[in-house]
Amino acid sequence: MLGGDNIDLALAHLAESRLKTNSKRLSAADLSHLLEQCRVAKERLLATDAPEQLKVTLLGGGSKLIGGTRSVSLSRKEVQNIALDGFFPLSKLTEFPDKKRSGVVEFGLPYAAEPAVSKHIAAFLKTHQQAAKEALGNENIVPDALLLNGGVFRSQPITQRTLDLISSWRNKAPTLLENQHPELSVAYGAVSYGIAREQKKIKIGGGASRSYFLLIGTEKEQRGVCILPRGSEEGNEIILGDRQFALHLGQPVSFHLVSLTGGKEYKAGDIVPINDDFHPLPPLAVAFDQEQSSDSKEVTVQLSVTLSEVGTLQIQCVAIEDTQQRWDVQFQVRKKTKAHFSKDLPENFPKAVAQINAIFGSKSKDINPKAVKSLRADLEKLLGLRNEWSSHLLRELFTALLEVRKNHRRSANHERVWLSLIGFCLRPGFGYQLDNWRVEQLWKTYSHNIQFVNETQNWSEWWTLWRRISGGLDTESQELIFNDLAKYLNPASARQGNTAKQSKQRGYDDMVRLSAVLERLPIAQKTQLGGWLLKRLQKASEPAQTWWAVGRVAARVPFHASTHFVVPPETAALWLQQILEVDWKKTPQAGFAATLISRMSGDRAREIDADVREQVIAKLKSSKAPSSWIEMVDSLKELNASEEKQIFGEALPPGLTLIDS
């Protein structure tokens, strides 16, 4: 919820519906300008001495700056209806936000699905009902007084509506506390807090609103150690001196926390049984560097716990033998996130690990070459079809494969099978607990390249591995890969020396597919890559799958990168002009590329011009393209599993889904 911004956006959409002609939506720049106009109009029309109506004006562009000017009127009544009935309705205390509705997305911001502030207030009061009851000693959860903060409450009608709302919930008007500048409340608070810290003046401390516990014991009998009692002040360090823990170094470990609101008072170090009253927090998995300590893989530690002013629960593992040795763990305790719970592994999992060790283990040098080639099939016999392996099973298999990585170069078959399996088990490189650590460990092998450089299939598996986990690679890693691929992809350098021969031998098609999914490349390199691929597509010898690559490079909706890595719509529109000249009936891959580039994102700052999108829709229809492609260009569409596979280039592991921004 962004307060008055939500109302401004609603008014901007109303004004846009009256301004636009031929069903054309405004550009992102025009909408931004209109939004500012509507903000000014809203503030005047919701004032005490508001006029009956006001005009909002949208200037033309370029040579049409004056002649292209358009204006529409917004009346006081309709603005008040939208602001009051839409955002501050007189709902009941038992009415809560509707979570099933889709929120508005503009300028990349996902607005709250439920616009009614009244319902959010009711939900907040319900969440803290028990705490209010304990504090006040009665069942009343509706406040006696209101202190209104935020610029939206400069409006007398909205202030009065809020008073009326609380009055309807308690049958008595609440006391309105004075605040002459509600829009400055947060700024005043920030400055006051800064002065309090700098000059050591008085500050108001809220303390921890919950007690926090570190889970110990088994799943059947879970217990928790209290590491931070409720009411603990921010910034104060608590050391659990009576409790010692064994910390594993050099391998990932998980910290599982739960919290408790209310209940009895606990002291740091208390061990309590865990029941349904405790709320799980997202587990944090980290790998502590063994080099920080002695050669031991395990060290005895005590816990030091501090709650920061910004809501971070910092845990330090302090070595008993040397208190200067500390390992940091941080939890974001004020952020609501669902915890991941692991499922049981298949009964034959130990046999599968034994099979991997039989092929790659230190004592398996004389293994039958046929057994190496058949490893994947043998694993499927034990665990079922690999496309049905769960995310948890895949990551556990990855661990087994990572442990034998030093032996994966014994033969060309060893290398090929290991590359294929470990990449498959880590795709898409993110989305599952500890994936960032796994990718970091696997990335260490990139600089070693492959051993059997004359084996085309090994090169193919090498590039496929990095394509599968590209989502977990940062910009620096993706740039390194791009630089290694550049001489084979650049039409100019690809003709020089023996590069063309090497390109074919080293799996050119897989290089193209890999380059297309490097979503965190800077815009300049993406633009360069797209230009190379389009130039290569002018030759009939270029594989049709390169069209898919162009579509991925210029896609409006990235899978794993943030939106500032998206190719600008102006560049994408230029590429579309070339794609539109291709016969999509003969080359449907070109039509699919256009679909990805024209796909609706919900953020008009990323979307191509409506005229170009209409051309794409018309050509998709005349080419008899699948209806799902047309839907992606025509409206916001949630992808199903088969569409995800087509765009992503491979099926995602069961249990992992891609979330559109």
Is the CATH code 3.90.640.10 the one for domain 4-87? Answer: yes
Amino acid occupying residue 229: P
At residue 337, does pLDDT exceed 60? no
pLDDT band per the 50, 70, 90 thresholds, residue 155: confident
Provide the token pair at 314. Answer: 């910092």
pLDDT band per the 50, 70, 90 thresholds, residue 221: confident
Question: Within a 13 Å sphere around the CA of 613, how many CA atoms are in the beta-carbon half?
Answer: 25
**For residues 565 and 549, what is the distance between their CA atoms, to the nearest angstrom?**
16
C-alpha R_g of the chain: 30
**For residues 279 and 256, what is the distance between their CA atoms, to the nearest angstrom?**
11
Provide the token pair at 156. Answer: 């007398």
Average pLDDT, the chain: 85
Longest dimension (CA), the chain: 91
At residue 626, does pLDDT exceed 70? yes
Residue 106: its H or E element: strand 105-106
Sign of CA dihedral 131, 136, 137, 143: negative
Domains of the chain, by residue range, sit at 4-87, 211-332, 343-473, 526-661
For residue 200, the model assigns a pLDDT of: 74
For residue 401, the model assigns a pLDDT of: 95
Averaged pLDDT for residues 16-35? 79
Q: Identify which of 116, 43, 111 has the alpha carbon closest to the alpha carbon of residue 80.
A: 43
Q: pLDDT: is 631 or 277 the higher one?
A: 631
Amino acid occupying residue 637: K
Sign of CA dihedral 172, 176, 182, 188: negative
In this predicted model, what pLDDT tens digit does every residue of 488-525 receive, in sequence order? 999 999 888 888 889 999 999 999 999 999 999 999 99
In this predicted model, what pLDDT tens digit does every residue of 58-83 receive, in sequence order? 877 655 545 468 888 999 999 988 88
At residue 643, does pLDDT exceed 50? yes
Instruction: Please spell the DSSP secondary structure of 222-277, one letter per residue.
Output: EEEEEEE-TTPPTT-EEE-TT--EEEE-SSEEEE-EEEE-SSS---TT-EEE--TT
For residue 291, the model assigns a pLDDT of: 54
Instruction: Please spell the DSSP secondary structure of 384-449, one letter per residue.
Output: --GGG--HHHHHHHHHHHHHTGGGTTSSHHHHHHHHHHHHHHHTTS-SSTTHHHHHHHHHTTGGG-
Q: Which residues contact 406 (CB under 8 A, 6 or more apart)?
A: none
| Domains 4-87 and 211-332 fall in the same CATH topology | no
Q: Which residues contact 256 (CB under 8 A, 6 or more apart)?
A: 214, 215, 280, 281, 283, 339
**For residues 415 and 405, what is the distance between their CA atoms, to the nearest angstrom?**
9
In this predicted model, what pLDDT tens digit does every residue of 520-574 receive, in sequence order? 999 999 999 999 999 999 999 999 999 999 999 999 999 889 989 999 999 999 9
**Which CATH number is 211-332's, of 1.10.1740, 2.60.40, 2.60.34, 1.10.287?**
2.60.34
For residue 65, the model assigns a pLDDT of: 47
Contact 19, 70 (CB under 8 A): yes
Q: pLDDT: is 233 or 91 the higher one?
A: 91
In this predicted model, what pLDDT tens digit does every residue of 595-616 receive, in sequence order? 999 999 888 889 898 889 999 9
In this predicted model, what pLDDT tens digit does every residue of 292-322 receive, in sequence order? 444 556 788 888 888 877 677 888 888 888 8
For residue 365, the model assigns a pLDDT of: 61
Averaged pLDDT for residues 37-66? 80
Contact 650, 464 (CB under 8 A): no
Percent share of the chain, pLDDT over 70 = 87
Contact 238, 306 (CB under 8 A): yes
Q: Identify which of 217, 215, 218 has the alpha carbon closest to the alpha carbon of residue 227.
A: 215
For residue 660, the model assigns a pLDDT of: 39
For residue 243, the model assigns a pLDDT of: 83
In this predicted model, what pLDDT tens digit does every residue of 258-299 receive, in sequence order? 888 766 788 888 888 988 778 888 777 676 766 544 455 678
Q: Which residues contact 192 (CB under 8 A, 6 or more apart)?
A: 203
At residue 158, does pLDDT exceed 70? yes
